[in-house]
Structure 1
């Protein structure tokens, strides 16, 4: 599971990441990580963090060819959010669940990734603004994600839908598919997870951090946000929270991409192993030298562009688009 053999041609033999990727990782390891380690999950102002991320990510420009449309409940949708539409749309959709520790970020902060996925696949991307903790703890985000998925099912066959997400959004995407299985909903054509946060208790990430020393994610801070999301729900074995028990679930194919030096790498490997052991299909790609959700920087890093292209190829196949083109 930990080899790089599944990377695309030209990247399987990477010894060192690109200059841009190295510069960002170094800046984070010297500035951001020491600061959050000192905080140790305390005195974190969510208001300041939310504002900083919302304004800071505007410096990352989305793909210029897409169109962003506001999604309002008044238009019949059960959630707010946005559509990110490519110039020429194909039949299908990507339900994208953004990351941010279940407590911050929004569809706007992730437009560099959703717009590139839309441009590379030809599929519109639905990015809901699901409710955030601590104002709306578990299971609010999952209820919103399921509502968005059910709404898409009224418009499209499930085989034409792919659910994707990054970090906590990766956890939410996997939980959504698992709950769809358990509740009798049809499953989507595929699932794409970028640096998924698998273990909200952070027991796995604490162990991994000793080996990988993530330049961005502090397990202590992640645990803080995990507790904010779980709230008063004390059953950590709830199948809507834990992702590693896949027994008996007939799930769609998964693609998991994770960075080689991030603290969530071990969690991604464990999830891939659990999916495979339960008879489900899973491709795991470990990208050496990259940081958490490096795909957001697809307009800056060659590795990020290649990773999103790999995800787009998987999505097209999972949604049956390539087969439809060959038949035509």
Structure 2
């Protein structure tokens, strides 16, 4: 089955879910979406960035496609693949979070996959709309392939970053670039208009309020770069889509789109799986550190990525032999 349900929750899951419901959800519901309100959210990333630094990795600040990026690599001996990398695209509804808030998840992926992870600081609201975010993600992917020497790139992201990962897949097909080796999503946003759908509800979500998502939707159109292509990633589902693994919280607001994508890909013959965890919060692998569901979700995601890389390498070797 392409949908794997994990319904036995760890004890730590319950206070985390309840705390998010009682405190985080009301805060998000009331937070103003005017320019000062959105601009002030950068402090969240700054505050998290001064916290404890992830262990087992080395980090380097650099630029990728003229945007700040943090390169994270496993420290110590590893079976590192010099031709494969991960492009990580952080979440935050295109308005909040950045390199600091997502340093932990990027580091855990780097250690688990034994790969370099490029965590991208793309443009977002209030300065730029989703078109600019997409353009930055696509430009970063292109540079990794065409200038940095990576033959295989995995695209990964949580929440809004999941939408950007899907748009990279779309752009690669449009521009004749090698498709990503795999797409990894943690509670991905797959539909820019999810907040305005009358048949959707966020009643069972720990902290995402649908009304706030609906209020954000018109802001996504802000320039300076118009967005190309689809607004719903499920429209791209087909046999040419890369292998895809998605982690969701059971009953969260964005889960129906994730399930739809996985089922469509499975029907098209694409290797695709979703792991749905009960009593978790949206993007819990990013929000939590070492509780059992986070550890397990990283393990299954890394195993999926490793298998996708192995199959891509085999395909590359066959291609090289034919060319030789």
TM-score (norm 2): 0.84
| Structure 2 counterpart SS, 1:136 | coil
Establish whether residue 291 from structure 1 lines up as the match of residue 278 from structure 2: no
SS in 1 for 2:12: helix
SS of residue paired to 2:193:
coil
1:309 paired to 2:299: yes
Matches of residues 139-158 of structure 1 in structure 2 within 5 Å?
Answer: 139-154=131-146, 155-158=148-151
The answer to whether the aligner puts 1:258 opposite 2:264 as a matched pair is: no
- Is 1:227 aligned to 2:231, yes or no? no
Judge which range, 286-295 or 265-274, deviates more: 265-274
Counterpart among 287, 305, 320 of residue 310 in structure 2: 320
Q: 2:265 aligns with which of 264, 270, 275?
A: 275
Total equivalences in the alignment:
309
User: 1:226, CA displacement in angstroms?
Assistant: 3.1
Q: Is the 8 A contact 2:74 2:110 kept in 1?
A: yes
Matched, 1:215 2:203: no
State the alpha-carbon separation in 2 of the partners of residues 57 and 224 from structure 1. Answer: 28
Output one character per residue of 1:217-253: Cα deviation in whole Å (capped at 9) or x when no partner.
Answer: 11122233332222379x99x6342212126661110
What's the offset of the Cα at 1:264? 0.9
Within-5 A mapping of 1:177-192: 177-192=169-184
RMSD between aligned residues: 2.9
What is the aligned partner in structure 1 of residue 321 from structure 2? none
Partner-residue secondary structure (3-state), 2:81: coil
1:83 maps to: 71
Q: Cα gap change, 1:133/1:290 in structure 2, threshold over 3 Å: closer, same or farther?
A: same
Q: Distance in 2 between matches of 1:204 and 1:306?
A: 33
1:41/1:220 contact within 8 Å kept: no
**How far is 1:124 from its partner?**
0.6
State yes or no: 1:4 paired with 2:1.
Answer: no
